[in-house]
């Protein structure tokens, strides 16, 4: 298999300085390629000076995480893409466990390693943790992370497991299947686009896994901090986008339930005095309504493959919001699937 580790960079010269050398040294079975998303800092100059042999693909404009990867990956010939955030520290042998699974299991088309926090190395990191799940209303969570709560890694999730989604921070995916599913949806710009892609792959009857035998450390929030209102906006908007496109039967009921629960989230922000986040939720919903004509066309194209969510791997058949905030269940292992 030809493997390419593709790092999307936008004004991230400080991350390239910090992590790129190790990525190259510890990825001997792969080619490392930088996709520069029209950076305005000195990223490209730095790369040409310090890494003269590395391939750089320069996008003409910054079209976000989704568009930036789509544009760059079109220029890469590979069997396996590894989409890797620039703020990740890889470990010795990080590629082999994931590549072994992909090589020996044709139905597995995508996956992720264990993602630990760079600044608290004993804890799971927010973006992906030890594999992504979703509840019956489309709210995402992870083994090792539910909403804002991340667990200490004590080996409790060290089994290889089928999951609903694999994080875009370190996503292994078969190139052929990436394009068969349509790639990342550029309407998302950034955040949750990998969940949407994995949902489409599930609806095509493929499997997605986490293999904790591979691990990396993620700084997290390197591009947009988790507490930033823009991140809140993108997460709420893009979650509605993904539901509208990929949901099986009962879409209107699912959207109505999300409206209620998103309103509850707004009340929580109100109580905490986080008024910018309230506006982010309101704006997300208005932008969702304004995008309905596009979403209807996308849903019509996907309708033949869309399956009931309760038939897919990695789905909690109850509300994670209720489990977390009302029943006070904050660890994945305490959830009853």
Answer whether residue 287 is part of any domain.
yes
Which of 218, 246, 276 is the last residue in one of the domains? 218
Share of the chain above pLDDT 70, in %: 98
Domain boundary among 154, 184, 218: 218
Based on the fold, state whether residues 64 and 178 are members of the same structural domain.
Answer: yes
- Number of domains into which the chain is organized: 2
- The answer to whether residues 94 and 53 belong to one domain is yes
The arithmetic mean of pLDDT across residues 296-308, rounded, is 96
Quick one: pLDDT at residue 226? Answer: 63
| Residue with the larger pLDDT of the pair 233 and 266 | 233
pLDDT band with cut points at 50, 70 and 90 for residue 33: very high
High-pLDDT (> 90) share of the chain, %: 88
Nearest Cα to 12, choosing from 45, 47, 41, 51? 41
Confidence class for position 266, pLDDT limits 50, 70, 90: confident
Do 335 and 323 form a contact (C-beta atoms < 8 A)? Answer: yes
pLDDT at 265: 85
Which structural domain, as residue segments, surrounds residue 179? 3-218
Output the pLDDT for position 275. 85
> Can you give the CATH number for the domain in which 20 is found?
3.90.550.10
Residue 255 lies in a domain: yes
DSSP code at position 26? T
Examine the domain organization and report whether 52 and 161 are in the same domain. yes
Which of 160, 186, 218 is the C-terminal boundary of a domain? Answer: 218
Residue 286 and residue 193 share a domain: no
7 and 48 housed in the same domain: yes
46 shares its domain with 80:
yes
pLDDT of residue 200: 98
The pLDDT of residue 222 is 54
As a whole number of angstroms, the distance between CA 27 and CA 94 comes to 8
pLDDT at 103: 96
- Domain assignment present for residue 224? The answer is no
Query: Element (H or E) spanning 237, and its range?
Result: helix 229-246
Considering the domain architecture, whether residues 205 and 256 belong to the same structural domain is answered as no
**Average pLDDT value for residue range 202-217:** 98
Strand ranges inside 155-287, DSSP E:
161-162, 170-174, 207-218
């Amino acid at each position: 298999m030809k493997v390419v580790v593709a790092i999307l960079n936008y004004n991230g010269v400080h991350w390239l300085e910090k992590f790129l050398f190790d990525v190259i040294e510890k990825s001997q079975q792969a080619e490392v390629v930088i996709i520069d998303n029209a950076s305005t800092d000195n990223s490209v100059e730095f790369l040409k000076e310090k890494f003269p042999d590395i391939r750089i693909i320069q996008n003409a404009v910054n079209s976000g995480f989704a568009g930036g990867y789509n544009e760059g990956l079109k220029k890469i010939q590979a069997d396996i893409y590894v989409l890797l955030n620039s703020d990740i520290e890889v470990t010795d042998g990080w590629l082999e466990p994931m590549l072994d699974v992909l090589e020996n299991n044709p139905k597995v088309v995508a996956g992720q390693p264990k993602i630990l926090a760079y600044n608290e190395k004993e804890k799971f990191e927010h973006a992906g943790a030890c594999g992504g799940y979703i509840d019956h209303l489309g709210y995402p969570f992870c083994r090792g992370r539910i909403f804002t709560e991340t667990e200490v890694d004590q080996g409790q999730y060290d089994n290889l497991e089928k999951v609903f989604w694999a994080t875009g921070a370190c996503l292994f995916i078969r190139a052929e299947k990436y394009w068969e599913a349509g790639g990342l949806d550029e309407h998302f710009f950034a955040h949750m686009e990998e969940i949407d892609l994995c949902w489409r792959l599930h609806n095509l009857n493929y499997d997605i896994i986490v293999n904790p035998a591979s691990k990396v450390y993620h700084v997290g929030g390197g591009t947009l901090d988790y507490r930033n209102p823009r991140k809140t906006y993108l997460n709420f908007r893009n979650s509605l986008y993904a539901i509208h496109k990929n949901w099986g039967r009962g879409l209107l009921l699912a959207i109505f339930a999300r409206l209620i629960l998103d309103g509850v989230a707004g009340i929580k922000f109100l109580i905490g005095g986080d008024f910018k986040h309230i506006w982010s939720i309101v704006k997300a919903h208005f932008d969702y309504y304004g995008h309905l004509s596009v979403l209807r066309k996308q849903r019509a194209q996907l309708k033949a493959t869309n399956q009931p969510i309760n038939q897919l791997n990695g789905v909690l058949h109850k509300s994670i919001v209720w489990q977390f905030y009302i029943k006070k269940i904050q660890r994945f292992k305490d959830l009853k699937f």
